[in-house]
A and B are shown apart, each in its own frame.
Chain A
Amino acid sequence: MTDGPRLGYGTNGFANHPLGDALAVIADLGYTAVALTLDHAHLDPYAGDLACRVDAVRSRLAELGLAVVVETGARYLLDPRRKHHPTLVSPRAEDRDRRVDLLCRAVRVAEDLGADCVSFWSGTAEDTDAAASLTRLDEGVARVLAEAARRGVPLGLEPEPGMVVERLGDALALRARLGDPEPLRITLDVGHCVAVEPESAADCVRRAGPLLVNVQLDDMLPGVHEHLEFGEGELDLADTLGALDEIGYRGVAAVELPRHSHAAPEVAARSMAALRSATWLAGARRRVRERPETIRTLFPAAGRHCGRGPVRPASDPAGVVHGTADDVARVRLLEVLGESGRAGEVVDLYRYGDDAEKRGVLRGLSTVDGMLPVEDGLELVRDALRTNDTRLVAAALGPYAAAHLDDHGWRHGVLKCLFVGVPLAAVAGLAERADEELTRMVTDFAAERRAAGRAVPADAERLLTGASGGTA
C-alpha cells in the first residue's frame, strides 16, 4: 500500500516539544505527514510575525517531506480558564465571533502552508435549546466557509463525542442543511467511531467516502472518549486502513494522542510500528481476497511484518495462552481465506508450515469452522497434540477442539497440558467439557506425582477442587 494514506502524527501529542523538534522527531520515525494544531507554542496564530513563522514552517515541512493538515482543537488558545471555549455554538455572538476569527486565521495559515485542509469541531452545547445551537453552528460554519472558498482551502468538520456534531451522521446532516458546499468535507477520528458510532470505523470510512479530507488515528473503547495507543482499545486498525485504501483515500491519516506528550517519541515510535504492521496486514488481506493462493507466501511472512511478541505480555509472557502478534495476524488472513471459500487451504498451510505457521492455523480453525470438513480440521488438532511443542499443544486446544474433538482425545489433550506445563487457561471450554473421567485421570496423575515425591501442578489441584479455569 505504498500509494495509501500519508501516515502522520499530531503535534498536539508533542506539546512539550518546540515545533521544530517535534517535526524532526516525527519525520525521523518514518511519518510523512503532520497534523499541526495551532497553539500557544506551535505557530500561535495570534502572536506577532505570523507570516514569517508560517514561511519557516512551510520550508521545514518541505525539507522533511511532510504533508500537513491544520488542526484547531487547542484547549486554551482563546480562553485561559475554559477548555475549548468559546465555540461556534456559544450563546453570545461575540464569543462565536472569536471562534470564527480563529478558524478564518487557520484557513489563511493553511493556505500559506499548502495544507490539505483546516480541521474543526462544532462545540459543546451550553444551553438546552438544541435548535438554537444548530442555527448558531450553521451560521458560523457558513462564515468560515466563505473564507475557505476564497482561499481554496477545504474544511474538515470533525464529529467529536459530547459535542453538537457528535457522529458522522450529524456532520453529513449539517452539510446537507448548508446545501452540500464543496469545500465542506469530513475529518474522521477513527477512535471516536469506536466510542460513539453504531458501526465500525471501517464502515464510517466507507460512508464518508469521497468527502473524507482528514483522518485521525487512535484506539478507543466503546462509550469512553479517551484516546488510547493502538492495541489498547477495540479499534480494528488493519480493517480501518484497508477501508481507507478501498475508497482510494490518499490524504493525511495522523495519529491523535494529545494526552501522551510526556512520552511522545516512544509513543510515536510504537504507533509507527503498529501502523506498519496493520498496513501490511491490510494489504495482505486484500491480496488474499483477490487471489487466495497468495496466502501461501503471505502466511509465512506474518512474523516478519507484524512481530512475534505475546499479545498479553504481563499475564502470558510466552504467548502460550493468548497467542502472539503473528498468531493474530495469521488468524486474520485465515478469515479472508474462509470468506473466499478456500478454507481447505489450511490443510496445506499446516503441512508446509513451520512451528509458528502451524500455531496460526490451529488458532484460526474456529474462524473457518463449518467451511472445511470437521475431520480435516481435527486431523491437524491431533497432529499438534502428538508433538511436545507446548505452544502447539496450547493452540490445539482452542475453541475448535472444544467444539469437535472426541472426549477421549480431548481429555488426553488436557492431561498432556498438565504434563508439559501448559496453563489450563489455554484450554477452551474446560468448565463445560470437564467430566468424571477427566477428574479420575487427573486424580491418578496427582497420585502418581505424590508417590514419586513430586509436586502436583497447581492447575491440577484447581481442577480437582472444582475451581477450573486455570491461571493467567
Chain B
Amino acid sequence: MRIFDPHIHMTSRTTDDYERMYAAGVRALVEPAFWLGQPRTTVGSFTDYFDGLIGWERFRAAQFGIRHHCTIALNPKEANDPRCAGVLDVLPRYLAKDGVVAVGEIGYDSMTPAEDAAFEAQLALAVEHELPAMVHTPHRDKATGTARSLDVVKNSGIDPGRVIIDHLNEVTVEAVLEAGCWMAFSIYPDTKMDPDRMVAILRRYGLERMLVNSAADWGRSDPLLTLRTGEAMLAAGFTEDDVDTVLWRNPVEFYGQSGRLVLDELPGFEAGTETFAGNSVLRGARDR
C-alpha cells in the first residue's frame, strides 16, 4: 500500500514516527501550516515556522525516504490576534517557494470578522499565485462553519475543484460534495473520524474527490490511521485499486494542481550523508 498523507503536522512528531510511516508505505505528505498549541505573539515566530516547513522539515522527511510538501497561511485562530496579522504581508514570498503546494490552513475557528478578512484575503492570494486552497472547518458549530466556508469559497471566484474542505464528518460531507470542492476527512482519535465510519462514508458517497488524512499533530493522534483506514477498506470489500485511489491518486491529483509536487523516490536516502545546519538527524547511525 502506498500512502500520501495530505494533512499531517510532522513538526510535532518524532523520527520514530517517520520510520513507522515509511514502513507503513507513506512516501509523500503535505504539512499544512497551523497553530502550535502555544499561541504565537509575533510575525517572526511565523516566519521561523515557515522556514522550517520549507527547509528543515523537508530535509528531515527526506532522511526517511518521504517527500515533504507544505501549505502556507495565517491560520484562522491566530488571524484574531492583531500582533500576528502582519504575516499576511510576507505570505507572497512563501507562496512562491518550491514545496509549497497550497494556501492553507485557512477558514474559520470562531467565525469572527477578523477571520472573515483573513480567509477572503488568502483565497485571493491562492488565485493570484495559482495555488489550490486548503480550508479547515471549525470544531465548534461545524455545520454552520462549513456552510459559511463554502459561501466564502464561492464568492472568491476560485475554482471549487482547487479547494479542499477538511475535517468533514457525516453531517458536513453532503454540502461539500454538492459545492464541487474536495472532501477531506481526518482520521483522528476521539474528536474526528475513525476508520470504520470513514469506510461507511466512502460506501455512501464514492471515492471521487475524497481525501483521507491523519491530521496527526501535538495532540493525541496517530500517523498510521491512514494505513488503518486502507485496511478497513479492504476488509469491507474495497479493492486494492480503490485504496490506492483514496490514499495515493486522489491527493496526487489534488495537490498536483500546484505544479510543484515532487514524487520520485528519494535517491539513496538510506545512504545519505548530508547534514543540515550542523545537524545530522541520524547522528551515529551511518558511516561518515
Residues of A participating in the B interface, judged by any CB pair closer than 8 Å: 296-301, 303-304, 352, 354-356, 387-390, 420
| Interchain CB contact under 8 A, A354 and B54 | yes
| Interchain CB contact under 8 A, B96 and A296 | yes
One of B47, B93, B99, B274 near A296 (C-beta < 8 A)? B93
| Interchain CB contact under 8 A, A387 and B278 | yes
One of A301, A356, A389, A420 near B96 (C-beta < 8 A)? A301
| Interchain CB contact under 8 A, B276 and A388 | yes
**Chain B nearest CB: distance from A65 CB in Å?**
23
Known A-B contacts A388-B278, A389-B277; the reply to A304 vs B90 at CB < 8 A is: no
Q: A391: nearest residue on chain B (CB-CB)?
A: B274
22 pairs, A vs B, C-beta closer than 8 Å: A297-B93, A297-B95, A297-B129, A298-B96, A299-B96, A300-B93, A300-B96, A304-B98, A354-B51, A354-B54, A354-B55, A354-B98, A355-B55, A356-B98, A387-B278, A388-B275, A388-B276, A388-B278, A389-B274, A389-B275, A390-B275, A420-B275
* B residues 249-274 in Cβ contact with A at 8 Å: 259-260, 274
**Chain B nearest CB: distance from A302 CB in Å?**
9
Q: B99: nearest residue on chain A (CB-CB)?
A: A354
- Does B22 make an interface contact (CB < 8 A)? no
**Chain A nearest CB: distance from B90 CB in Å?**
7
A355 to B275: give the CA distance in the assembly, Å.
12
Known A-B contacts A352-B47, A354-B55; the reply to A297 vs B275 at CB < 8 A is: no
A355 to B93: give the CA distance in the assembly, Å.
14
**Chain B nearest CB: distance from A355 CB in Å?**
6
Known A-B contacts A300-B97, A304-B260; the reply to A352 vs B276 at CB < 8 A is: no
A419 to B129: give the CA distance in the assembly, Å.
42
One of A298, A354, A387, A420 near B97 (C-beta < 8 A)? A354
| Interchain CB contact under 8 A, A387 and B93 | no
Q: B97: nearest residue on chain A (CB-CB)?
A: A300
A301 to B99: give the CA distance in the assembly, Å.
11
- A387: B residues at CB distance < 8 A: 277-278
Question: Interface size (B, Cβ < 8 Å)?
Answer: 22
- Does B238 make an interface contact (CB < 8 A)? no
- B276: A residues at CB distance < 8 A: 388-389
A301 to B55: give the CA distance in the assembly, Å.
15
A299 to B94: give the CA distance in the assembly, Å.
11
| Interchain CB contact under 8 A, A297 and B96 | yes
A402 to B277: give the CA distance in the assembly, Å.
23
- A300: B residues at CB distance < 8 A: 93, 96-98
* B residues 225-246 in Cβ contact with A at 8 Å: none
- A352: B residues at CB distance < 8 A: 47, 90, 93-94
Q: A296: nearest residue on chain B (CB-CB)?
A: B93
| Interchain CB contact under 8 A, B277 and A388 | yes
- Does B92 make an interface contact (CB < 8 A)? yes
A387 to B129: give the CA distance in the assembly, Å.
31
- B278: A residues at CB distance < 8 A: 387-388
| Interchain CB contact under 8 A, B259 and A304 | yes
A299 to B92: give the CA distance in the assembly, Å.
12
What 3 pairs across the A-B complex have the smallest Cβ distances?
A297-B96, A388-B278, A300-B96
One of B99, B129, B274 near A390 (C-beta < 8 A)? B274
**Chain A nearest CB: distance from B61 CB in Å?**
14
- B275: A residues at CB distance < 8 A: 388-390, 420
**Chain B nearest CB: distance from A325 CB in Å?**
14
A296 to B129: give the CA distance in the assembly, Å.
12
1/0 per residue, CB under 8 A from A, across B76-104: the answer is 00000000000000101111111100000
| Interchain CB contact under 8 A, B98 and A296 | no
A296 to B90: give the CA distance in the assembly, Å.
10
A389 to B55: give the CA distance in the assembly, Å.
12
- A355: B residues at CB distance < 8 A: 55
A356 to B96: give the CA distance in the assembly, Å.
13
- A388: B residues at CB distance < 8 A: 275-279
A152 to B93: give the CA distance in the assembly, Å.
52
**Chain B nearest CB: distance from A149 CB in Å?**
48
Q: A392: nearest residue on chain B (CB-CB)?
A: B277
A66 to B47: give the CA distance in the assembly, Å.
48
Among B94, B98, B274, B277, find the residue whose CB has the most chain A CB atoms closer than 10 A.
B98
Q: A301: nearest residue on chain B (CB-CB)?
A: B96
- B95: A residues at CB distance < 8 A: 297
Q: B90: nearest residue on chain A (CB-CB)?
A: A352
- B260: A residues at CB distance < 8 A: 304
**Chain B nearest CB: distance from A396 CB in Å?**
14
One of A296, A303, A390 near B92 (C-beta < 8 A)? A296
A298 to B96: give the CA distance in the assembly, Å.
8
- B96: A residues at CB distance < 8 A: 296-301
**Chain A nearest CB: distance from B125 CB in Å?**
11
- B94: A residues at CB distance < 8 A: 352
A258 to B98: give the CA distance in the assembly, Å.
38
- A420: B residues at CB distance < 8 A: 275
- B51: A residues at CB distance < 8 A: 354
A296 to B95: give the CA distance in the assembly, Å.
10
**Chain A nearest CB: distance from B133 CB in Å?**
18
- A356: B residues at CB distance < 8 A: 98
A420 to B278: give the CA distance in the assembly, Å.
10
- B98: A residues at CB distance < 8 A: 300, 303-304, 354, 356
Q: A351: nearest residue on chain B (CB-CB)?
A: B47
A297 to B125: give the CA distance in the assembly, Å.
13
